[in-house]
Structure 1
Amino acid sequence: MNREIEIKRPYRHFKGKLYYVHDILIDSETREKIVSYQCLYEPYGMFARSLEMFLEEIDPNREDNITKQKYRFELYKG
């Protein structure tokens, strides 16, 4: 995996909504890297997802891939 997360930046999910990446955390038991991120829409919930899953490629032809992105989350430059 050669993509890197830029913390303190917005990302767009392939379903179109925006999220703010707060930080990269380390699971104390498994040492797995975890992304901490927050919705940029109400109710502004906080989430955590493995770095591997955050960066994974998705099928651009998925019916719910309204942005036609290559990756689950992509840096938002809008």
Structure 2
Amino acid sequence: MTRRIITKRPYRHFKGKLYYVHDIVMHTETREWMVSYQALYEPYGMFVRPLDMFSEEIDSGRPDNVTKQKYRFELFNGQ
């Protein structure tokens, strides 16, 4: 089951950087749901990632999990 991702909101990646989720879109060939998002740091790149990957859990013991998050991306609440 995929977590609900709220569009038009900032999310924090488990490595600490912030991204803005623009929309959930469908790949025209594979019909796979994708997340369209943008870095909130220069050069403000745009990205797409499969929805399942965007919302997946990560290994809490990863040494690069600087935020100690449960998920790859988590809704940012300003803290």
| TM class by smaller structure | over 0.9
CA 1:9–1:71 in 2, change beyond 3 Å: closer, same or farther? same
- The answer for the alignment partner of 1:54 in structure 2 is 54
**One-letter amino acid of the structure 2 residue matched with residue 41 of structure 1:** Y
Post-superposition Cα deviations, 1:28-73, rounded to whole Å, max 9, x if no partner, equal 1111000000000000000000000000100111000000000000
TM-score, normalization by structure 2: 0.96
Taking a change above 3 Å as real, the CA distance of residues 2 and 30 of structure 1, as seen in their structure-2 partners, is closer
Give the residue type in structure 1 aligned to 2:41.
Y
Match of 2:26 in 1: 26
Kindly report structure 1 stretches of 4+ aligned residues shifted beyond 2 Å: none
Structure 1 position 3, deviation (Å) = 1.4
Residue 43 (1) aligns with residue 43 (2): yes
Question: What is the count of residue pairs matched by the alignment?
Answer: 78
Distance 1:33 1:49 in 2: 9
Cross-structure match for 2:5:
5
For structure 2, the 5+ residue unaligned runs are: none
Cα deviation for residue 2 of structure 1 reads 4.5
SS at match of 2:53: helix
